[in-house]
Amino acid sequence: MPAGSFAIEVTRGGIVESRHHGAAAVVRSDGVVEAAWGDIDTAVFARSAIKPLQAIPLVESGAADRFGLAKEQIALACASHNGEPRHVATVRAWLARVGLSEQDLECGGHAPTRLPAFEALVRSGEAVSPAYNNCSGKHSGFLTTAVHLGEPTAGYIRADHPVQQRLRAVYSEMCGTDLAGVPVGTDGCGIPTLGVPLSAMARAMARMADPSGLAAARAAAIGRILDAMWSEPFMVAGTDRFCTQVNGRARDRAAVKTGAEGVFCAILPAQKLGIALKIEDGAGRAAEVAMAALLRRYGALDRGDELAHPLVRNVVGLTVGEMRPAAGWPGG
């Protein structure tokens, strides 16, 4: 077990069957670390966990207002969605409003991640298209901002495109860290993903929680993004998803966003804190339990919330165990 890290346990038949180790940082907007577990200083790819931050230019630039985007579109710009019918229809209508189509999306297509939506797609005979990609809302936001600012839409996922340069600048400003020379990877949807320590990632979330030190336009944009995530939680994820449940329950207390490979971020306005965590083996199921435990610790979820101790069920629905924070860690 890495020094100082936490563990999420999975039980079966009264014994611990699996353990997922992780690191987490809880940080204030001035960069002071409120609490930490494990290594919070090694670079981590945030993946989709910083999508609310990546939506800032869409609102801050005036693009959202120019094209009359409502809360559902702004929430969808922050989403890793299931590809359910409402998600797909909203993306298509949004792009048409901007004068584009899903063929302008450069994220690629994949099947819906929720089984009923996948089954409906198969029955319809329709081919998978980029609108079904879980990142299609984020990419629609990128395209909308490019159109608004008179930039080329082709190649908007490239690192040298103004869209990506703008995102890098916003991330750097919100982290309070110079991101020149940081590790760079390619995300699942094709855009660059930057290697940033959990401590800096959490500070960026804290500055969204407490935007008082930011320019008025950015603070207002952040307020609209959080309101959209709380008002339209389904658009951020979809049916039965952790992000949908938390964002729907915790208005004004927490806005959360998952990322691939066990990364999770949270914005806590009431406490003016940001949280970033990473599960070492990339297990998303453990990241959810860890985030729920931290949200409970900081009063953003009820103490008895089942999200921090979800049941493990077998294929016939019998309860065979649970997931839980290890003893001695928040919620354990």
Does any domain span residue 331?
no
Does any domain span residue 232?
yes
How many other CB atoms are there within 10 angstroms of residue 328's CB atom?
8
Note down the domain range covering 87: 6-325
Q: What is the pLDDT of residue 330?
A: 84
Helices 136-148 & 85-98, crossing angle to 10 degrees? 10
How many other CB atoms are there within 10 angstroms of residue 261's CB atom?
19
Does any domain span residue 43?
yes
Provide the CATH number for the domain around residue 210: 3.40.710
Does any domain span residue 179?
yes
Does any domain span residue 21?
yes
Nearest C-alpha neighbor of 270 from the set 329, 213, 226: 226
How many domains does the structure of the chain reveal? 1
Does any domain span residue 1?
no
Residue length, the chain? Answer: 332
Q: How far apart are CA 331 and CA 316, in angstroms?
A: 29
Residue whose tokens read 């869209």: 163
Residues 47-69 pLDDT 10s: 999 999 999 999 999 999 999 99
Does any domain span residue 332?
no
Q: What is the pLDDT of residue 304?
A: 65
Does any domain span residue 22?
yes
Mean pLDDT by 10 residues, the chain (332 residues): 86 96 97 97 97 98 98 98 97 98 97 92 93 98 98 98 98 95 96 98 98 97 98 98 96 97 98 98 97 95 84 96 93 68
